[in-house]
Homo-oligomer: A and B are copies of this chain.
Amino acid sequence: MSDRENGQTTQPRATMQDVARAAGVSLKSVSRVINAEPHVSQKLLDKVQAAIHELRYVPDTAARSLAGQRHFMLGVLLDNPSPHYTMRLVAGAYEACRQHRYTLQFDNIYAAEGPGHQAERIEQILHSSRLDGMILTPPTSDVPELLDSLERKGLPYVRIAPGQDTERSARVTVDDRDAVRQVADYFWERGHRRFGLVRGLWSHPSSRIRRDAFVERLRSHSPDVSIIEADGDYTFEGGLRAGEELLSARRPATAVFASNDDGAAGVMTAAMRLGLKVPHDVSVIGFDDSWVAKSVWPSLTTVRQPLEEMGHAAAQMLISRALGGHHGTFANRHFEHRFIERGTVRTIA
């Protein structure tokens, strides 16, 4: 491998003891400063901070974990097939962790294997790692067995975008309904009256929510508006099939909302194959602002979830909690979507 282990140039890292000595105070006082504990005089604070800075002191996480009851590690439960989605969420959570010198552990829980397996898997995860908290990402946020296990173990957790039984725990939410209404209105205001809807995967609560919001909003504009629905199962393939169905109907849709971007890309391809031009002949809006949104032409009008911020918030909640925060009350941070106007919607004269 590539190195020389004999740290010729590397002087040993400063310890808390070193800082204490340099500042002329006790070990424990340095500890107090590091942990921002109360009852520290300004004078002592200054001395210690100067010494810390001077020695470039960085506390040793392993020692802190061993001696105290924090462990500087959070877990994230993952089971989302979309790398882009996962990546953004995790990036946000990771950033929050880094800021507090925490580490993030990733755990894939395979929903496909059924709730029994999942419960077993999480028990194992909890037993074998010392965590200060757990972040549940969709679709794991809605598996009751998981929540049960977590509660039994007494591990704090935060659910991201839970679909059901929302009040049960701390959570980070985002209002899909609201975003979908914007989509519906956007189409409506541009003169569209015949709609297509590509549904997602029924096992994800988000799927039903998005569908219902879209349909309801449109009906509120006109009770007997035309909406053709088809299943797209959140994939390109699914969107392709759904698109062909929607666009080759007798009175085809002029505006299609796909429950995610992959599906929307499928619809665009279907349009192309049917000789329809986007947005001239069909308008399309996606959901997620994933990577593909910019890998199609025209680039896709879509809705972006602030996933990084959501992940960040979730981790932040857990970290504050570990520092000795808010017991009893279930925090809830809410975020808004951002509508991203690009090139796939046309205004009908």
Contacts and interface: CB of A to CB of B under 8 A. Distances in A.
A205 to B, nearest CB: 18
A86 interface: yes
A288 to B, nearest CB: 12
Contacts of A106: 94
A3 B155 contact: yes
A130 B2 contact: no
B330 A151 contact: no
B83 A291 contact: yes
A8 B153 CA distance: 8
Contacts of A266: 295
A53 to B, nearest CB: 13
A2 B83 contact: no
Nearest to A65: B62
Contacts of A297: 240, 269, 272-273
A328 to B, nearest CB: 9
Interface in A118-162: 127-128, 130, 133, 147, 150-159
Question: Which range holds the interface residue count of chain A?
Answer: 35 or more
A60 interface: yes
Interface centre among A4, A8, A330 (most CB of B within 10 A): A4
A225 interface: no
25 contacts: A1-B133, A1-B157, A2-B150, A2-B159, A6-B154, A8-B154, A9-B152, A9-B153, A13-B127, A56-B127, A61-B62, A61-B130, A62-B62, A62-B63, A62-B71, A73-B103, A83-B83, A84-B84, A84-B291, A236-B294, A236-B296, A265-B295, A265-B296, A269-B297, A291-B292
A3 B84 contact: no
A342 to B, nearest CB: 13
